[in-house]
Structure 1
Amino acid sequence: MRIPLFWFDRVGKKDKDSLGTELAEFVSTITDPLLITIVTLLVILKSISMTFKEATFWFLLVMGISIVPTALYIFRGMKKGVIHDWFISERKERYKVLLVGMLSLLVLNLILLGLSAPSLLLVFGQTAFLLGLFLSLTTLFWKVSFHSSFFTFFCASLVGLFGMKLAWLFIFLPLVGWARTKLKKHTWGQVIVGALMSLLITWLVFKMYNYVGI
């Protein structure tokens, strides 16, 4: 078993096509949905007025409840051979992963509410839950791009927090889409629908909490 995180681990002569494939793998790696979720969480925590100790507590809480269980489930599935790659390219392999993720996010949101977490953490948790719900429902019949969905979540969150001055981040979205289609993991339709629904969900939750940068 080899997790496809090491995009540069190749031998032999590189032609133009292999270089394009390597670039697509690199882009897919750095925009990995779990990694992007962690980065989004860090940005949100940074924007909240709190001590380092408080930020560390919330970071570990969110990581431990929502992100780590999903990552461990994927690792376990790969070890057993029921999941073939880290990005869960096969649609039917996504069902149980999404179920684990949704249960984890449900528990996270209940705990955040119970602990009276800062509103931005509630925004993060509820947006992630609704995005996960959308992906879970569409996965029953279609394989929407997780990469484009979570990258859009990241970009829209930053625009929501800091305003339209960061809207330029969206120019990288076509690159993410190209990478996923280049590797034949998705069609452009699956990339675009994932991005648009993610943008809508993020906008609705941010609007509900009166973060109107978007």
Structure 2
Amino acid sequence: MTSATPQAEPRPARLITDRLEPKNWIIFVTLLMGWHADRFAGIGWGLFAAVFTGVIPILFIKFGERRGYWGDRHVRRRQDRMYVIPGIMVSVVVGLALMYSLGAPSEVTALVVAMLVSLVVVLAITAVWKVSLHTAVPAGAIATLALAYGPWLLLLSPALPVIGWSRVKLRDHTLGQVIAGTLLGAVIGGGAFALLR
């Protein structure tokens, strides 16, 4: 699927895609899960998790973007994701190993394991099709937060169709791909967290 040229991009869709990108959701969910697990000490663990699940991956993506390995930080081409996702998984596995060895709270480690499980599933699907990580990540974040804090966190759910709209409007995904991403994040990410917490 071809992307719209920058001149043709609708500004609201671009702003939504950029402001509500996966990295921001990852930092949001790790901090909130850390707080739920162990208050201020837990926030420290949330920050630790965010470094390996959000910060290092985005630095890796930006490094590849600058070198011309892939087009932009959203890694639009499916074939590029076959290299980017395993790179992200390495960072997540290293972070997870450190968290286990240092005694991180179980809720925070369960969240990171759920992220890793979701990445494995996304990588398998990416071999044949491109699902939306822009909807998968927030769907997983909302599902895990609702399990931890209660169903009132589902009030964040209206963000999902808004993000999905932006991805379709920018012609980065089809409607089917954003729906598949949403279901994958909620079911796989939320389900793995529910089993592991």
TM-score by length of 1: 0.82
The DSSP-based 3-state class of the residue aligned with 1:49 is helix
> Does 2:73 align with 1:80?
no
Greater C-alpha Rg: 1
Match of 1:160 among 147, 150, 156: 147
Shift of 1:50: 4.1
- Distance in 2 of aligned mates of 1:176 and 1:46: 26
Alignment of 1:123-142 (within 5 A): 123-142=110-129
> Does 2:71 align with 1:98?
no
Shift of 1:93: 1.3
Q: CA contact under 8 A between 1:147 and 1:176: conserved in structure 2?
A: yes
> Does 2:37 align with 1:31?
no
Question: In structure 2, what residue type is equivalent to 1:31?
Answer: L
Query: CA 1:165/1:69 → structure 2, altered by over 3 Å: closer, same or farther?
Result: closer
Query: CA 1:108/1:89 → structure 2, altered by over 3 Å: closer, same or farther?
Result: same
- Distance in 2 of aligned mates of 1:125 and 1:205: 10
Give the equivalent residue in structure 1 for 2:29: 40
- Distance in 2 of aligned mates of 1:134 and 1:209: 17
> Does 2:76 align with 1:89?
yes
Question: In structure 2, what residue type is equivalent to 1:26?
Answer: L
Q: CA contact under 8 A between 1:69 and 1:100: conserved in structure 2?
A: no
Structure 2 gaps, min length 5: 1-5
Q: CA contact under 8 A between 1:62 and 1:108: conserved in structure 2?
A: yes
Structure 1 gaps, min length 5: 1-8, 11-16
Q: Which has the higher helix share?
A: 2
Alignment of 1:169-180 (within 5 A): 169-180=156-167
Query: CA 1:118/1:174 → structure 2, altered by over 3 Å: closer, same or farther?
Result: same
Report 1 or 2 for greater relative contact order, CA contacts < 8 Å, sequence distance ≥ 6. 2
Question: In structure 2, what residue type is equivalent to 1:199?
Answer: A
Shift of 1:25: 0.6
Shift of 1:60: 4.4
Give the equivalent residue in structure 2 for 1:196: 183
Shift of 1:203: 2.9
Among all aligned residue pairs of Structure 1 and Structure 2, give the percentage whose two residues are the same amino acid: 26
Give the equivalent residue in structure 1 for 2:104: 117
Matched residue count: 192
Could you give the per-residue CA deviations for residues 1-55 of structure 1, whole angstroms, max 9, x where no partner exists? xxxxxxxx98xxxxxx86xx11111110121111111111111112122445x63
Could you give the per-residue CA deviations for residues 175-201 of structure 1, whole angstroms, max 9, x where no partner exists? 111100000000111111111111111
